[in-house]
Amino acid sequence: MKKLALSAALALASLGAQANTCSSIGCTSVIETLYTSENGNIYVGFPADEKLAKCTPQSGVYFTLRPDAKNKNQMYSTLIYALAANKKVQARVHENSQGCTIAWVSVDTRW
Instruction: Tell me what the mean pLDDT of segment 67-84 comes to.
Output: 97
- Other beta carbons within 10 angstroms of residue 6's beta carbon come to 10
Model pLDDT for residues 84-100, shown as the tens digit of each residue: 999 999 999 999 999 99
Predicted local confidence at residue 16, as pLDDT: 41
Model pLDDT for residues 28-66, shown as the tens digit of each residue: 999 999 999 999 999 999 999 999 999 999 999 999 999
Instruction: Tell me what the mean pLDDT of segment 15-20 comes to.
Output: 63
**8 pLDDT higher than 70:** no
Question: Phi first, then psi: what are they for 2, rounded to 5°?
Answer: -65, -40
- Domain 20-106 carries which CATH code? 2.40.50.340
Q: pTM to 2 decimals?
A: 0.82
So where are the chain's domains?
20-106
| Stated length of the chain | 111
